[in-house]
Each structure stands twice: as structure tokens, then as C-alpha cells.
Amino acid sequence: MKQISSLLLGSAASLLVMSGVQAADLPVKAKAVEYVKICSLYGAGFYYIPGTDTCIKLGGYLRAEVALNTNSDFNGQFSANNGARNRLTNYYTARARENLNIDTRTATEYGVVRTFFNGVFTWTTGNYSGTGSATGTTAYSSALALNTSGANPALVGSSINPTDGGTSGGALGVYYAFIQFAGFTMGKAVSQFDAPWTNFPGNNFDGLVGGSGTVTGVNQFTYTADFGQGVTASFSAEDATAYYQAGNLNMTGATAGGMIGGSYGSNAIGGSRSPNLVGQVRVDQAWGLFQASVAAHDNHVAYYGATEPTGHPDDKWGWAVQLALSIKNIPTGAGDTINMQGVYTDGATRYNFQNLAGSTYSMFGGSNIAYQSIGFANAPDTVYITGSQQETVKTWGFRGAYTHNWDPYWNTALYGAYAQAQFGTLAKTTLCGATGSGGVFGRLAGVTSCNPDFAIGQIGIITRWTPVKNLTFSGDLNWSHLDQKYAGTVAYAGAGTTAKPAATYELKDQNSVVLLLRAQRDW
């Protein structure tokens, strides 16, 4: 019996060892793959970055467009070869662009940490430099100012003169790059002064006057307080150098020919001293929003002459105030909106004549009494003469749009803008004399009215068709009118850069009509 028991125990042990060996030979189940998971904390489109608690969203668009009757994309025929309106002026300008934005958010004990980047890859039709004459060769020049003549073999294949002539070069733009944390915004973002629609209350046209618009972002350090019920307030220090320098002109250097070209003297901006200081209060409600913005801008210039002992004017602070209103879902149809804003500036012109609109005009047209007609204007921040202090330029303006949705696939917006610039006594006396018949320009034979004040009026209509989700085709037609206050005729010495000859020109208001056709796929 003892032997039988030992045999059974031995057999059992052998079976256990064998089963263990067989089990060891079986494949071990692999660890589950950590797939990307949807993050529902911050809205649609966010996903967790694998292995982290950070959510990310990718987005952007691809755009193809052509602007007709302009040298730029997308603005009016306001100056240089664009305003010359002759054989140096483009009939069209084309552009292809890919936009990419990356939005990341992480929940922390101090609140959400957010980073946002938006960049664009763009190729735009360039312009031509030169007059195409026996003494002035015309050459294509892209936005990168590439040397396409091939005159320097040492540069062939380099970034200055690539082998393809720069035609595939394109350009990279960094629009936004900022961090948001605990109410602070740090980096390149839309100015806190801007209305939420920036330059586009209902349009695609880039050159609307009548308000601020940093559509490509401005470096800033901002704190925003949220009071609940849709009420917020922000205070911001924003970089003035890239977007808010309309010019500080020493009119001692002004000439009649320069004025016709849109220059009222020598621009004498000094080094940066202070950021623009911006405050904003905003109310968001179901019916729309209301926003009030204020800004202070330091006008700091260099010297009267070429060296330090020549002296300089004191700094002059300018300011601006803007009100914006949006009304949603008005009775005319679901999704219909009205956006409008008004602005006043004193020594801070770029808050009205925004960066993409510019504030320099030199536009030629036809005439029944002279060789051609010319309309010109300039709106800097301040002006002065050697030995004087700065005098601010005052402006006011407004812009707005009404957008109507015909059905889920079609909508149309009617939009408009207006801005006026007003100069002080120093400017008017220097340029036009105390009675309007003296100074740099008013004393010229044939000039019957001299006044640097001017206005810009703009109106446009845009229709969009979205046949499928996120694919939109649009046509935007814009008319701009320069209402300048000079009258009579003037003997102009001409300009080689625009092929304008020495002749008599009529001083006259000018118009510009441009059309943008665009296809855009958002993703």
C-alpha cells in the first residue's frame, strides 16, 4: 500500500511538472496597446496625447485665391506701381496658402494651461521692379525679394538666388504663438484692443479702415479677469514696433514731389521705449456682445538732424478708444448677424488705419484737363519740424457688416467702412501755409486748395457658397474712395519708379475697385 501511495504521488508530481512546462511554452498575452483617446473636456476635436494628461487639437485650412485689379492680396490700388494704374500694374495677384494650428490644454490645480500655435505656408504672385525701358530693366521680384536676374553666379542655388529663380520659395508666417495660464496670455496673439472679428466684420477684404485689426497677432503680456455672467476685463502690454507705427514725420524734409508720392517728410521713429498699454471690457451674451477698448501709444522719435547735438522733440503719448457691438440671430433669418465698431484716435493712427490697410495713398487716374489726375494722402501718428515738438494727427472711423444666410449653403454680407484723418495747425501751416496758399505745396502754381485732411470710404459685397461641410467658395467685390482735399493742377516732375512723366496733373479724388475669388477647405 505504501508503495502504491508513493507511486501515485510521484506520478502526480510528474504531471504537475509537465503541465508547468507546457504552460511555460504557451505565448504570454501582449499588453494592450494604448490607443489615442478622445478628450471631451474642451470641446470637439481634442485627443489625449498618448501617455500624458494633455489634450491636443489640430486644425487649419488650405486656400487658393486670385485677386483681380490689384498688385496685392487682398487690397486696393493705393500706392506705388499699384496706384500708378499703368503697364506696371498687375491685373491679378494669385495666392495659395496652407494654415496649421496646434492647440494643447492640460488641467492643473491652478487651472487649464493652454498653448496655441498658428502658422501659414504661403506662395503669392510677386510684383515687378523697374520700368521696362531702354534704361530700366523690369524684373520679377517675389515677396522674398529674390535676385532672379542670375547676375551673380556665386549666389545660384542659395536662398538668395535659388536654381528655380525663387518660384517655389514661398514664405512662412507665424501668426499666433502664445501660452495661457491662470488668466495670463503671454506671446503673439490678437490684440486685446481688437473686436473679435478683427478686420473682418463680414468680408474677406484685408484693407478695411475704421478700426484696429492685428489678424496676424501681436506680442503681448495680458491678464484677463472673468467676473462671470459673460463679463471679462483685460489689461495688456503689447509690442508697438511691428503693427502700430504709422510714422513720426519731420516735415522739414517734405517736398512737393514727395507729397505726391504719399510722403509728408522724413520718418524719424526712434528706438522702442514703451509697449502700447491696452485695456478692454467685454460682455458676451446670447444676443451678441459689446466691447469697449482703450489704448495708449508712446511716440518716441530720434533726432532733428543726423547727430545727437541736433536735439530732438519730447515723447508724445497718443491714445485711442473703440466701441464694438455684435447682434446675433436677428429677425431676418437664423444665423444672421450685424457687426459694427467705431474708433477715435489721437496720435495712435494704426488703431483706425490698421496695419493691412496702411495710411499712405498715391493714386493716379484720368483727367479731362491735364495729362492725368492724382490723389494723395498720408496719416502718420505725429508730425513736427526741426526745433518743434510733436503734433498729433487725429482720426476717427467706423466699420460694419450685415450677414444674411439665404439657406444652409449660401450667405451674403454687405459691408462698409469710413475713416477720416485731421491734421493740426503746424502740419497745415508747413504744408499749405496759414491761408492754404503757401507752404511746401500750397504755394505751387495751379493749386487752388491745399489741405492735408482726407477721408477714405469703402463699401463691398461678398457671397459665399458652401456645397459641402468646410468647403467654401466666395467672391468679394470692394470699392474704395479717396476723398482728398487738394484741388487745382500741379506740375509734377514725375517718378521713374512708376514711369510717370514730368507733366501737369489734376488734383482729384480717386477710386479703386478690386475683386477676390477664393476657394477654402477647412479641416
Q: Confidence class of residue 36 from pLDDT cuts 50, 70 and 90?
A: confident
Q: Cα(400)–Cα(402) distance, rounded to whole angstroms?
A: 7
Residue at 165 is within a domain? no
Beta-strand pair 47-48/54-68: antiparallel
Q: In Å, what is the CA distance from 384 to each residue of 240, 250, 267, 318?
A: 20, 5, 10, 15
Residue at 180 is within a domain? no
Q: Cα(442)–Cα(91) distance, rounded to whole angstroms?
A: 35
Residue at 141 is within a domain? no
pLDDT at residue 142, rounded to an integer: 58
What is the count of structural domains for the chain? 1
Do 482 and 452 form a contact (C-beta atoms < 8 A)?
no
Cis peptide before 221 (omega within 30 of 0): no
Percent of the chain topping pLDDT 90: 79
Q: Cα(367)–Cα(186) distance, rounded to whole angstroms?
A: 53
pLDDT at residue 456, rounded to an integer: 98
Residues 6+ apart with CB under 8 A from 347: 297, 299, 316, 317, 318, 319, 381, 382, 390, 392, 393, 394
Separation of CA 4 from chain center: 97
Q: Among 381, 75, 368, 139, which Cα is nearest to 241's?
A: 381
Domain range for residue 419?
Answer: 189-522
Residue at 503 is within a domain? yes
Residue at 35 is within a domain? no
Percent of the chain topping pLDDT 70: 86
Q: E strands of 423-470, at which residues?
A: 447-449, 454-468
pLDDT at residue 425, rounded to an integer: 97
Residue at 467 is within a domain? yes
pLDDT at residue 427, rounded to an integer: 97
**What cell does 248 get?**
513720426
Q: Confidence class of residue 109 from pLDDT cuts 50, 70 and 90?
A: very high
Average pLDDT over residues 407-415: 97
Weakest mean pLDDT among 13-27, 64-78, 202-216, 228-242: 13-27
pLDDT tens figures, 270-308: 999 999 999 999 999 999 999 999 999 999 999 999 999
Q: Cα(144)–Cα(142) distance, rounded to whole angstroms?
A: 5
Q: E strands of 372-499, at which residues?
A: 372-378, 382-384, 391-392, 394-405, 410-422, 447-449, 454-468, 471-484, 487-492
Q: Cα(101)–Cα(164) distance, rounded to whole angstroms?
A: 30
pLDDT at residue 19, rounded to an integer: 44
Residue at 124 is within a domain? no
Q: For the chain, what is the mean pLDDT? A: 89
Let me know how long the chain is.
Answer: 523
The CATH number given to whatever domain includes residue 428 is 2.40.160
pLDDT tens figures, 426-457: 999 999 999 889 999 999 999 999 999 999 99
Average pLDDT over residues 405-418: 97
**Residue 337 pLDDT more than 80?**
yes
Residue at 122 is within a domain? no
Which residues are paired to 517 by β-bridges? 66, 475
Q: Cα(200)–Cα(478) distance, rounded to whole angstroms?
A: 13
**Residue 381 pLDDT more than 90?**
yes
**Residue 139 pLDDT more than 80?**
no
pLDDT tens figures, 188-242: 999 999 999 999 999 999 999 999 999 999 999 999 999 999 999 999 999 999 8
pLDDT at residue 161, rounded to an integer: 40
Q: Confidence class of residue 317 from pLDDT cuts 50, 70 and 90?
A: very high
pLDDT tens figures, 498-517: 899 999 999 999 999 999 99
Separation of CA 111 from chain center: 31
pLDDT at residue 72, rounded to an integer: 86
In this structure, the number of other CB atoms found within 10 A of the CB of residue 420 comes to: 18
Beta-strand pair 248-250/382-384: parallel
Q: Cα(200)–Cα(284) distance, rounded to whole angstroms?
A: 19
pLDDT at residue 269, rounded to an integer: 93
**Residue 151 pLDDT more than 80?**
no
